[in-house]
Structure 1
Amino acid sequence: MPEPVLISIAAALASRTVVGLYQLVKSKFSDDPEATALLEAAEGAGEDSPQVRALSERLADAEAESPEFAEELRGEWERSAGQHAESGGVTNQITGNVSGKVVQARDIQGGISF
């Protein structure tokens, strides 16, 4: 079973929310038709989907095969996760396995109930 961070990375790849990360993995998989097919099959799939799970397993294999790729992948993930807000903006981020209720907000007037 892949590390939770690889599942999060695979989910981000599936949604194409992190362009640099997607380009890195697409380039790495360019000479591997099976890996490319996994990347394409995961597009738009949810984090709990079999497609994202398969992609995360392939990412784990790619990291094991190439420590350089592992370093690049983790570095790009860290850069993308390093969100920052400017001019009164706000950023929200949830990673890893989350269960239960979560609120991501700014400037709440009044209470919150679930």
Structure 2
Amino acid sequence: MPEPVLVSIAAAVAGRTVAGLYQLLKAKFADDPDASAVLDAAEGAAEDSVEVRELAATLEKTQAADPVFGEQLRQEWERATVDQHAEADGVTNQVSGQVSGNVVQARDIQGGIKF
């Protein structure tokens, strides 16, 4: 079973929530029709789908064969997940994976929120 971070990366790529990751994989898989087919099959798939698990397994094999790519993949993931930095007294909100519905990112809320 692939590492949880690879499953998270695969889910983000499937949902195209992180464009840089998708582009990195598209370029890496350009000369590999099997890996490209796995990437295409995962597009729009749910995080817990067979397609996303297959993409995560493909990522695991690819990074094992090419450690430099593995490092690039993790750096891009880290960059994408730490896009927001809080000030010393601030709050950092992170939303990852497939999100359905409403999301509110806020700091100090007085009262309720209704959608």
Give me the TM-score of the superposition, normalised by structure 2: 0.78
Pairing 1:64–2:64 present: yes
Find the aligned partners of 1:94 and 1:84 in 2 and give their Cα distance. Answer: 11
Per-residue deviation, residues 40-88 of structure 1 (Å, max 9, x unmatched): 00000111000000000000000100000001000111111112269xx
Cα deviation, residue 108, structure 1? 3.0
Alignment check: 8 A CA contact 2:84 2:93 kept = no
Q: Answer yes or no: is the 8 Å Cα contact 1:83–1:91 preserved in 2.
A: no
Q: With structure 1 as the length reference, what TM-score do the two structures score?
A: 0.79
Gap regions ≥5 residues in structure 1:
97-102
Match of 1:100 in 2: none
Cα RMSD (Å): 2.4
Query: What is the alpha-carbon distance in structure 1 between the residues aligned to residue 22 and residue 96 of structure 2?
Result: 18
Displacement of 1:17 in angstroms is 1.3
Closer, same or farther: CA 108–8 of 1 in aligned 2, 3 Å = same
1-structure distance, mates of 2:48, 2:66: 26
Amino acid at match of 1:38: V
Do structure 1's residue 55 and structure 2's residue 76 form an aligned pair? no
Corresponding residue for residue 110 of structure 1? 111
Contact 1:42–1:55, Cα closer than 8 Å, also in 2: yes
- Percent identity over the alignment? 61
Aligned length: 103
Q: Is the 8 A contact 1:29 1:35 kept in 2?
A: yes
Distance 1:42 1:91, change over 3 A: farther
Q: Where does structure 2 lack aligned partners over 5 or more consecutive residues? A: 98-102
Distance 2:44 2:96 in 1: 18
- Maintained 8 Å contact 1:64/1:70: yes
Q: Distance in 2 between matches of 1:74 and 1:37?
A: 22
